[in-house]
Amino acid sequence: MSKTGINLAIFASGNGSNFAALIRAVRQRKVKASFVILVCDQPEAFVVERAKKAKVVVILVKREDFARREDFEAAIIQRLKYYKIDLIALAGFMRMLSPGFVKLYRNRIINIHPSLLPAFKGAHAIRDALAAKVDFTGVSVHFVDNQMDHGALILQKKIKIISTDTLDSLEKRIHALEHKLYPEAINKIL
């Protein structure tokens, strides 16, 4: 089979809306990927069902099955090498990758985060932006380095926080922007 694009691994641990958006973009040829796999550490995560429905290869690697983090990551790396993965897109993968893993895939791991980094790092960025009563928040796509929600920016877009926003309404608008921005960012780095 001739390669017409990248081999993409999407790492996710939860609902998988960004996973679904990326798969849609690949299928609509908005992202040039030859092959896509899902790497997940939570077998009960809804993203697994999304992947199965989309007929995407699912790699389940549970952290608790390994005595050491290095062994957990080695199992993932073995699969990434088997599938000849060119790029890793983190999409709600709620684990920090070790410096050794990041070094091995330097400049080939990207992450999407629901804020205008460096503001509001961490797992509750949307809630934190709303609580801070800032005028704007947004979405950032960046290369992964050894710090949480840090690394060279690829793309950023902002959203105005409106006075009637609730956590739910702001999350919906942020997620809609993420679904557009992540494919754009992947194409930009390709």
Report which of 28, 15, 38 is spatially closest to residue 183, judged by C-alpha positions: 28
Half-sphere exposure for 170 (CA within 13 Å, toward CB): 27
The candidate with the shortest Cα–Cα distance to 129, out of 117, 144, 141, is 117
User: Is 113 tagged catalytic?
Assistant: yes
CB 70 within 8 A of CB 80: no
Catalytic site residue from 113, 142, 175, 179 = 113
In whole angstroms, how far apart are CA 106 and each of 54, 83, 135, 146, 166? 29, 18, 34, 10, 38
3-state helix, strand, coil split of the chain in percent (to 5) is: 40, 25, 40
Of 58, 56, 152, nearest to 102 by C-alpha is 152
Short-list 60, 46, 169, 178, CA closest to 111? 178
Euclidean distance between CA atoms 102 and 88, whole angstroms: 10
Catalytic residues: 113
